[in-house]
Amino acid sequence: MEILITDTYEEISKAAARVVAKALNSKPDAVLGLATGSTPLGLYRELIRMHKDEGLDFSQVTTFNLDEYVGLRGDHPQSYHYFMHENLFKHVNIARPNIYIPSGTTDNYEAFCKWYEQRIVECGGIDLQVLGIGGNGHIGFNEPGSSLGSLTRIKTLTKGTRKANARFFKSMRDVPKYAVTMGIGTILKARKVVLLATGESKAQAVVDSLEGPVSSMCPASALQLHRFATYVIDQAAASKLTLDTYEH
Ligand code: PGA
């Protein structure tokens, strides 16, 4: 695993944007796996800047998002459809038919999840998957206990995750209880993975995932099995790491 430790959030965002830009420059029709949450916002801002100032081209890119809340329509301000549109897609030249985000409103989740997995394969597989990490070690909405071989499916959100995300909703009651998420097996199939983490609240999950055993109790620890996984994290998120060989 490659671990890059930076001083500021801006540096995390720029380093991650360079990884994405490199993928697009070497393969203009790359397939990106994308994440939501507060952490990748700076990355998306930087990609938008690179698109506007440097001509970073998304015209042939295909994207698959990790997850979506069950029960929220695409125009709900807290849906991940809305998030992606507002924070990235509407600002770059991506072709709308090339955007895939799990549905939170289908009437047949089983069929939808199967189709989502098939679409990823039909599009050639994910070249680069962007990830955040939950305080409990989740990636996507693969909460602790998720099968390390899991594919796209519905997951029940833990109380902790619902509490962490309640800040975006009017009240805890409004936070959805379920989500559709790519599985850990889906994520492991991506050719390259870049995980971003910032702040002390992620330090335990970061150390568990990098230095702990591979365990479904820390879903991100499955990335130890990946050949090309990079962590881009700040000092606070790195503060519990014990090896002195990480790159600063
Ligand atoms: P955050 O969420 O980026 O908002 O901290 C990350 C996650 O829960 O995966």
Which tens digit of pLDDT belongs to each residue from 63-93?
999 999 999 999 999 999 999 999 999 999 9
Mean pLDDT score, 137-155: 98
- pLDDT over 80 at 247, yes or no: no
CB within 8 A of 236, min separation 6: which ones?
198, 199, 200, 202, 203
pLDDT at position 135 is 96
Q: Which of 16-25, 136-145, 161-170, 188-197 has the lowest mean pLDDT?
A: 161-170
Whole-number Å distance, alpha carbon 36 to ligand 1 midpoint, is 7
Check pLDDT > 90 for residue 158.
yes
Residues with CB under 6 A from ligand 1: 37-39, 132-134, 138
pTM: 0.97
Q: Locate tokens 């790195």: which residue? A: 238
Q: Which ligand 1 atom minimizes the distance to the CA of 36?
A: 3
pLDDT over 90 (residue 40): yes
pLDDT of residue 244 exceeding 90, the answer is no
Determine how β-strand 128-131 pairs with β-strand 31-34.
parallel
Active-site residue set:
67, 136, 138, 143
Say yes or no to pLDDT of 243 above 90: no
- Tell me what pLDDT residue 245 has: 76
For residue 151, the CA-to-ligand 1 centroid distance in Å is 20
Ligand 1 atom closest to the CA of 196, numbered from 1: 3
The DSSP H or E segment spanning 192 is: strand 192-197
145, β-bridge pairs: none
Q: Which of 34, 36, 39 to mutate to test the pocket of ligand 1 (most atoms within 8 A of CB)?
A: 39
pLDDT of 246 reads 77
Give the residue whose CA is nearest to atom 8 of ligand 1. 134
Percent of the chain with pLDDT over 90: 98
Top mutation candidate among 9, 12, 34, 38 for ligand 1, by most atoms within 8 Å of CB: 38
248: confidence class by pLDDT, cuts 50, 70, 90: confident
b/e 98-137 (16+ beta carbons within 10 angstroms → b): bbbbbbbbeeebeebbebbbeebeebeebbbbbbbbbbbb
Give the distance (Å) from ligand 1 centre to CA of residue 47.
19
Q: What is the pLDDT of residue 214?
A: 98
